[in-house]
Structure 1
């Protein structure tokens, strides 16, 4: 969500009348977060992690996830810039996690696949190398027929 969606001034009057309702603001906007608090709350309740889940649990979890994401992307962006790249590749994310000891503790049990540049092996084809030669020979035949 952009800041403009969350910065609605709904306090025009000192006390809102009972007939006029204030515009609805999401819990993410109220908490000042970008990550979706409502969606995380829904997943927590559907996941059967605990019998009872407090209303602040989803806000706290969204804040932690947003902080971790910001931290990882920030460091990966610096690594990509040092690599003279403008885009963050999966390799930069892996290097970020491997270089930072705190992130290694967070992702300690996670198995992350190595990201290497695998060369594609072309399968042998029956049409191998015939495309350009055939087109070139057809042109020669047409030219020779026209000239004759």
Structure 2
């Protein structure tokens, strides 16, 4: 079974072409970001926003977008937790944007179609389990002693 030149264990008998090889890492991984740097760069270049676009601009844009997303989701998660919910609803996002002044200035013109007007929920009508209405039939049965407590 022939062995490949780069499969050997020690580094001293490697050829020079195999010695400098490193595993491919994405620019997002190198920058420590979750948002895709390459995709954002592609959108910047195809969008004709500027004649020239620097190589660090897409990394910076991805970092800013990731920070804003984290901030919005964090605040919306806190609002959802205060509302005793485990999922973030569009209403929580709308409330997040409307409560924060900086986010309101940045995203104030955005309309979330599914977000309903924020209002305080009225407490639900209390159920009267076990305490049914007194009817004429039940009152007669109690007077006659048919129902013993």
- Please, what TM-score do these two structures have when normalized by structure 1? 0.65
Matching residue of 1:141: none
Runs of 4+ in 1 over 4 A off after TM superposition: none
1:107, CA displacement in angstroms? 0.8
- TM-aligned CA distance change 1:50 to 1:95, over 3 Å: same
Matching residue of 2:17: 19
- TM-aligned CA distance change 1:59 to 1:17, over 3 Å: farther
Equivalenced residue count is: 104
1:106, CA displacement in angstroms? 1.0
- Please, what TM-score do these two structures have when normalized by structure 2? 0.64
1:17, CA displacement in angstroms? 6.4
Instruction: Give the structure with higher Rg (CA).
Output: 2
Q: Which runs of 5+ in 2 are unaligned?
A: 1-10, 118-149
RMSD: 2.2
**Alignment partner of 1:55: what SS?**
coil
Q: Which runs of 5+ in 1 are unaligned?
A: 1-12, 118-148
Structure that is richer in helix per residue = 1
Quote the Cα distance in structure 1 between the aligned partners of 2:91 and 2:109.
19
- TM-aligned CA distance change 1:61 to 1:18, over 3 Å: farther
Counterpart mapping for 1:8-47 below 5 A: 18-20=16-18, 21-47=21-47
Quote the Cα distance in structure 2 between the aligned partners of 1:60 and 1:17.
38
